[in-house]
């Protein structure tokens, strides 16, 4: 049982490049979320999903897309990276009906 896994752990992009941050969980959790963490800002919700095929916007969704084709996977796409997207990105999952959220180890993204 690996929990929540994220790849890559580190990434450097140039402005305008696109990429996908991968997130997977093997706990059969219904809820999955993406957060970004910036100094002094805590964790801000980007997008979340309450089940396969269902996604919704969080607090800071602009510049990011998500999809949830399976229960296990919840990739985050940056279509055209901008320096303002330099951050640490965390994926999280939790079972339906509970608030116990499990976080992945994070992806540190730098956009030059």
Partner 1 sequence: GQQLNQSPQSMFIQEGEDVSMNCTSSSIFNTWLWYKQDPGEGPVLLIALYKAGELTSNGRLTAQFGITRKDSFLNISASIPSDVGIYFCAGQIQGAQKLVFGQGTRLTINP
- Contact residues toward partner 1 (CB under 8 A) are 4, 31, 33, 35, 40-45, 48, 50, 58-59, 90, 92, 99-106
Query: C-beta of 16: minimal distance to partner 1 in Å?
Result: 28
Q: Which is nearer to partner 1, 17 or 103 (CB)?
A: 103
Do residues 79 and 65 touch, judged by C-beta distance below 8 A?
A: yes
Query: C-beta of 44: minimal distance to partner 1 in Å?
Result: 8
DSSP 8-state secondary structure symbol assigned to residue 83? G
Q: Which is nearer to partner 1, 60 or 111 (CB)?
A: 60
Distances (CA, A) of 99 to 30, 53, 56, 76, 102: 12, 21, 18, 22, 9
Q: Please count the residues of the chain.
A: 112
Q: Which is nearer to partner 1, 75 or 102 (CB)?
A: 102
* Angstrom distance (rounded) from CA 62 to CA 25: 25
Q: Which is nearer to partner 1, 13 or 91 (CB)?
A: 91
Beta strand 10-13 with 107-111: parallel, antiparallel or unpaired? parallel
Query: C-beta of 48: minimal distance to partner 1 in Å?
Result: 6
């Amino acid at each position: 049982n690996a929990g929540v896994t994220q790849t890559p752990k580190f990434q450097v992009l140039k402005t305008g490049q696109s990429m996908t941050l991968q997130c997977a969980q093997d706990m059969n959790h219904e809820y999955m979320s993406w957060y970004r963490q910036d100094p002094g800002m805590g964790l801000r919700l980007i997008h979340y999903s309450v089940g396969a095929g269902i996604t919704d916007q969080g607090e800071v969704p602009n510049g990011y897309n998500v999809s949830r084709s399976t229960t296990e996977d919840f990739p985050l796409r940056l279509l055209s990276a901008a320096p303002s997207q330099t951050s640490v990105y965390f994926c999280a999952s939790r079972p339906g009906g509970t608030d116990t959220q499990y976080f992945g180890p994070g992806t540190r993204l730098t956009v030059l």
